Chain A
């Protein structure tokens, strides 16, 4: 339905400052979630979710990847419009967020607001994100959020049958990370 709504979203953020060694390889374990929320007129709200997130690290960065084809807004036709008309997941299947380890005080746990590089719809833009990382069992529980404007990434503003969705989209991510 809506060809509207959605937004594209994704990827978000967080990361974490995990107490990992400089040579560690991040991996996501257990339950994870990514959720985006877009708003329409008169209180209309569209929420899309996915449980699929991947995380990895390089020498100086942490990389979080969200497969966009897994996002589900609860209405199949809306999903179809989101993927095909707006996110164009055939060409751009993933959203990817890169955060420098230095900016988050890696490898320490903590929280704060940092700037990362978000690649979405084939375009990379700087985004501000809030994150929190804390120890959880043998790994780390990470949560983060950001707000993006889909127009900044070349995504058209969704509109369907007279209902248009705002281009600003809130994204929230939660996952558990473990160093290997």
Chain B
């Protein structure tokens, strides 16, 4: 009898931990999309040369594909005298010639995940299809357009274009615009876009991305944006009209997001970001909420193999009729590339959603990412996060292995 009671209590305890930690685990999932702010190590302080999105991430230009071949992946042996990076770097490994005006890119990313919650909760092992997207872009004179359509077995709800809880179609981006000015320095565009805020890091689960809701996984919104890029400056400001793929309309946020980054050299850039949105109904607060995030970020290259990236953001949530919650989040990441294509990454981060009521969460991780073949990379992450749960704290450790292939 007592043994049965103990078993039931143990099962309840384990169930409760799993209920708390499984969502945390999902939050620990690593990268999803292309966006490598450490490309500054190669002297690229701006993003628009290699990406259709002027602030980086996602669909690459032809030039970006060539850089992927030349700079991203490990090179084996001496290059041939007549080396042409587009032979392998082009769409479908160069097997399908495309007109210069058309860009296509298919990304598939799979994840194996192992989570070790505190005993007695059992470990969790999962295989997840993180990304299966096809993106297309058009560049004709000053006109630019980009759209993506993909399949999501789970997650990425905010980017969904079909109904249901699983097996949906998602469109993370779809926009059109024009470049303006001498040197194509300006771009004005409208549609569903990544929010211009902070470091556009690949790890969409970083607290600086998740807490500000500016990740490149599914946090895009519809709106109008104007960007500018020069040798010393890059910036983008977006008027947010809401995520039109989210219903009912009361849930949609309206406001702005913007960043300005100054490159002091080809190895040092510092920027500031700001975001203010308002939603008529916030799911968590069950009332209107004014949300703000303001912060700074930096990218530094003390020596070419090493890139230091950091971001800190103040977080303010102001539910109507309730006290404001003021918190902050920050991250520090060091990326070392001892051999071209091989990245050793150390990350530390913290989050306090409300200084007055909740202790801070802390996290850290070590990662290895290897761009080992054309169009392919693998990544392994060891992450640990310690977060407040009730009156105590919980630590959850995760091991992740990912493989990413693009065509």
Contacts and interface: CB of A to CB of B under 8 A. Distances in A.
Nearest to A78: B70
- Among A2, A42, A166, chain B packs the most CB atoms within 10 A around the CB of A42
Interface stretch (A69-77, A96-104, A125-133): A69-77
A161 B70 contact: no
Contacts of B66: 1-2, 160-161
B231 A39 contact: yes
B341 interface: no
Report, as a range, how many residues of chain A touch the other chain. Answer: 20 to 34
Contact of A76 (B43, B79, B139, B185): B79
Contacts of B146: none
Contact of B83 (A47, A77, A163): A77
A41 B49 contact: yes
A43 B42 contact: no
B100 interface: yes
Contacts of A43: 45-46, 48-49, 183, 185, 229-234
Q: From DSSP, what is the main secondary structure of chain A's interface residues?
A: mixed
A90 interface: no
Given A47-B266, A161-B63, A42 B54 contact: yes
A77 B87 CA distance: 14
B71 A75 contact: yes
Contacts of A42: 46, 48-49, 54, 179, 183-185, 229-230
A45 B231 contact: yes
A2 B46 CA distance: 16
B73 to A, nearest CB: 14
A53 interface: no
- Among A40, A41, A44, A77, chain B packs the most CB atoms within 10 A around the CB of A44
A39 B63 contact: no
Contacts of A2: 63, 66
Interface string A70-93: 000011110010000000000000
B49 A74 contact: no
B21 interface: no
A76 B78 CA distance: 11
B188 to A, nearest CB: 13
Contacts of A166: 183
Interface in A19-45: 39-45
Interface in B76-100: 79, 83, 85-86, 100
A137 interface: no
B237 interface: no
A46 interface: yes
A75 B42 contact: yes
B61 A162 contact: yes
Nearest to A44: B49
A40 B43 contact: no
B100 A162 contact: yes
Interface in B186-221: none
- Among A43, A46, A75, A162, chain B packs the most CB atoms within 10 A around the CB of A43
Interface in B94-112: 100
B339 to A, nearest CB: 15
Contact of A77 (B85, B231, B233): B85
B173 interface: no
- Among A39, A75, A80, chain B packs the most CB atoms within 10 A around the CB of A75
A42 to B, nearest CB: 4
B70 A45 contact: no
Interface in B226-259: 229-234
Contacts of B183: 39-43, 166
A44 B65 CA distance: 16
A39 B63 CA distance: 15
A75 B304 CA distance: 13
B49 A163 contact: yes
A45 B86 CA distance: 22
27 contacts: A1-B70, A1-B85, A41-B48, A41-B49, A41-B183, A42-B184, A42-B185, A43-B48, A43-B49, A43-B183, A43-B229, A43-B230, A44-B46, A44-B231, A45-B45, A74-B43, A75-B42, A75-B71, A76-B70, A76-B79, A77-B70, A80-B83, A160-B63, A160-B66, A161-B62, A161-B66, A162-B61
Interface of B: 42-46, 48-49, 54, 61-63, 65-67, 70-71, 79, 83, 85-86, 100, 139, 179, 183-185, 229-234, 266
Interface of A: 1-2, 39-47, 74-77, 80, 160-163, 166
Given A1-B85, A77-B85, 19 more contacts: A1-B67, A2-B63, A42-B48, A42-B54, A42-B184, A42-B230, A43-B48, A43-B233, A44-B231, A45-B231, A45-B266, A74-B43, A75-B70, A80-B83, A161-B61, A161-B62, A161-B66, A161-B86, A162-B63
